[in-house]
Amino acid sequence: MPLRLTGLTRTELTDLMVQWGEKPYRAQQVWSWVFVKLASSVEEMSDLSKPFRARLASEIAPLRPEVVSHRVSADGTEKWLLACEDRITMETVFIPETSRGTVCVSSQAGCSLACPFCRTGTLPLRRNLTAAEIVEQVTFVRATLANRGIRVTNVVLMGMGEPLYNLEAVTQAVRIIMDGNGLAIGCRKLTLSTSGVVNRMEEAGKNLNVNLAISLHSVRDTVRDQLVPINRKFNLAALKRAALAWPLRGRGRITWEYVLLDGINDSEQDALELVHWLKGIPSKVNLLAFNPWPGAPYSPSSRETMLRFQEIVANAGLVTIIRDSRGGDVGAACGQLAGDADLTPPLHEPLAHEESSG
């Protein structure tokens, strides 16, 4: 297997250069080409000697995934379908906002958790993405947009997959993405979203200095059992304990994601119960408009219902925003990612994750 530079931390790259018999400053040069100047190939690394470039070119894997498709929404959101070396595809979304630009990256191809409102949940889990594949989604989007003068300032691990079921690769990728001498995405600009994999949250909290978002969607076990099936394994009480144990640095808060589904979890009573449940947890609530997809068994709540829900939560003193859907017209919104044009049939039976629910 050729080596993937995009999956190495700066220390690991330095060790590799030493193993190769190179001076340590070589590592700094290569690192800077990959993560600061965002070179797309070794040929661009013009200050490296020809023999060294030849060695690099022969030993390392390409620095970029292949673009299978690219769609741009009327609201400026962009979605890429990117192919890995084995033709498995991953989806990456860029969401431009006035003061920031956010890349939403995938952590798995598919997902082993079948939340019924999420299109990714209808796909089998193909495999975990490697740290390099996660990082390359960021380097690729940043390089592509830099050519157009657009800045990538934030990263959210909210694309396809459950990041805590790929914790090792995600941890390595986060280290690389946060390196101040490279992509330099700071801890306040990096958010990981989990459906509530309680038994991985303690380890994640120790290793990852990122904002945590938790997909809540209901504070009644009977309802959450249906919407987020992992709740049957780790119920709301267990989730609350894990959230309370999450190391919030400084003035941090847990972000709770709550997708409003018509007639399912959007009543005034639901809003009051949510407020009650969140008492004592430093929290921020993101109300998500449901993004429909073909065959989805739910519909979005009306605007009035969403505003009323927000009002109740806000009146209780909680920071509450309605996250409007972005990129819906090109299937780039939360929960619409389906890896549409997967290039190959599965190479093997879909991996049922050992800890998947059900």
| Catalytically active residues, by annotation | 91, 334
Binding of residue 226 to ligand SAH (CB under 6 A): no
| Contact indicator for 9, 177 with CB cutoff of 8 Å | no
| Of the candidate residues 78, 136, 162, 270, the single one contacting ligand SAH (CB under 6 A) | 162
| Of the candidate residues 48, 271, 274, 288, the single one contacting ligand SAH (CB under 6 A) | 288
| Contact indicator for 184, 114 with CB cutoff of 8 Å | no
| Of the candidate residues 30, 68, 82, 118, the single one contacting ligand SAH (CB under 6 A) | 118
Nearest to 34 by CA among 116, 138, 128, 119: 138
What x-and-dash track marks residues 156-195 binding ligand SF4 by CB under 6 A? -----xx--------------------------------x
d(CA 192, CA 105): 10
Binding of residue 193 to ligand SAH (CB under 6 A): yes
We find the least distance from the C-beta atom of residue 293 to ligand SAH, in angstroms, to be 6
257 binds, among ligand SF4, ligand SAH, none (CB under 5 to 8 A by kind): ligand SAH
| Contact indicator for 138, 176 with CB cutoff of 8 Å | no
| Contact indicator for 111, 123 with CB cutoff of 8 Å | yes
Binding of residue 257 to ligand SAH (CB under 6 A): yes
Question: Most distant CA pair in the chain: distance in Å?
Answer: 69
3-state secondary structure (DSSP) of residue 319: strand
Binding of residue 92 to ligand SAH (CB under 6 A): no
Which helix or strand (DSSP H or E) is residue 70 part of? strand 66-72
Binding of residue 195 to ligand SAH (CB under 6 A): yes
Q: How many residues does the chain have?
A: 358
3-state secondary structure (DSSP) of residue 250: coil
We find the least distance from the C-beta atom of residue 351 to ligand SF4, in angstroms, to be 14
3-state secondary structure (DSSP) of residue 267: coil
Q: Which CB atom, from 14 or from 107, has the smaller least distance to ligand SAH?
A: 107
Residues 211-234: b if buried by 16+ CB within 10 A, e if exposed:
bbbbbbbbbbeebbbbbbbbbebb
What x-and-dash track marks residues 190-229 binding ligand SF4 by CB under 6 A? -----x-------------------x--------------
- Per CB under 6 A, residues contacting ligand SF4 are 111, 113-115, 118, 120-121, 161-162, 195, 215
- Per CB under 6 A, residues contacting ligand SAH are 117-118, 158, 162, 193-195, 215, 257, 259, 288, 290-291, 334-335
